[in-house]
Amino acid sequence: MALRFSKMHGAGNDFVVLDRRGGGSAPDAALARALGDRHTGVGFDQLLTIEDSHVAGCAAGYRIWNQDGSAARQCGNGARCVAAWLVRDGAAQPPLFRLDSPSGVIEVECRADGRYTVELGVPEFRPDCIPFVAAREQAEYAARISGRDLRFGAVAMGNPHAVLLVDDITAAPVAEFGAALQGSGLFPEGVNVGFAQILARDRIALRVFERGAGETLACGSGACAALAVLVRQGRIERAARVELPGGMLEIAWPTDTAAARMTGPAAFVFEGEWQE
């Protein structure tokens, strides 16, 4: 049986998009791994499924699956790609509409320059809500992990994030420290680990080691997490450009009680059929 899909990317963070509206079984771990393999499959950072939404006022829903078949609760670059897919399909009408995401309803704005702005919710710093094992909430935590003393901020942006400040983004031990934090037991549901270098008060460079995927060219929720953590630590402004290996995102967090907003591109790469 042929399974139709769209290949898309947002700032280099790449996806396979499946339309599951009208029913059909959810992708299992074996299918996700087969599709996600970059040598024998299509290749992706995450698999996105377009779903019927039962939330009033939402154009559609979507779900997110990592390369290893595990489910994720948010993906900012994926949200923009879902929005662009639905606009092309005619199921969503610009300039404003809502989507039903795994972590709740999000607002989408289609911009005149072809980019999309999505609201990813209010950053959550309470350890039990991330979830993160800590005695009390702090702007920065210290822990000895795999024989190294690490300092990092922790926040949930629909999914858990740790953010480490580094002096040189190109030399950051992303895979080593990312894997160490993921395996530390401090984050019971896993964690996306961001490495941020401050270039100016309104500009940072970022690399992200994602749970279930490894390092990706971009991570939208990770960009929001990095800005939120660094704002809370008093290091940067509430609006900044975040430069990732795959491109640039604009992130804004107007107040402590406001949703973080992300603006960036969404691109179609090709359409295909997977022979199951």
Whole-number CA gyration radius for the chain:
18
Q: Is the pTM of this model over 0.85?
A: yes
Residue burial 158-192, b: 16+ Cβ < 10 Å; e: rest: bbbbbbbbbeebeebebeebbebbbebebbeebbb
The structural domains of the chain, with segments of one domain joined by +, span: 2-121+265-275, 127-258
Q: Which two tokens stand for residue 220?
A: 């939208």
- Residue 208 to residue 245: CA distance in whole angstroms: 10
- Burial readout 124-141 (b: 16 or more C-beta within 10 A, e: otherwise): bbebeebbbeeeeeeeeb
For residue 36, give the 3-state DSSP assignment.
helix
Return the active site residues: 75, 219
Distance CA 19, CA 83 (A): 13
* 25, HSE (Cβ side, Cα atoms, 13 Å): 6
CB 158 within 8 A of CB 120: yes
Q: Do domains 2-121+265-275 and 127-258 have the same CATH topology?
A: yes
**Distance (Å, whole) CA 174 – CA 11:** 19
Residue range 127-258, CATH number: 3.10.310.10
Q: What is the pLDDT of residue 258?
A: 97
CATH topology of domain 2-121+265-275: Diaminopimelate Epimerase; Chain A, domain 1 (3.10.310)
Distance CA 154, CA 141 (A): 8
> pLDDT (tens digit, 0 to 9) for every residue of the chain, 276 residues total?
789 999 999 999 999 999 999 987 788 889 999 999 999 999 999 999 999 999 999 999 999 999 888 888 899 999 999 999 999 999 999 999 999 999 999 999 999 999 999 999 999 999 999 999 999 999 999 999 989 999 999 999 999 999 999 999 999 999 999 999 999 999 999 999 999 999 999 999 999 999 988 999 999 999 999 999 999 999 999 999 999 999 999 999 999 999 999 999 999 999 999 987
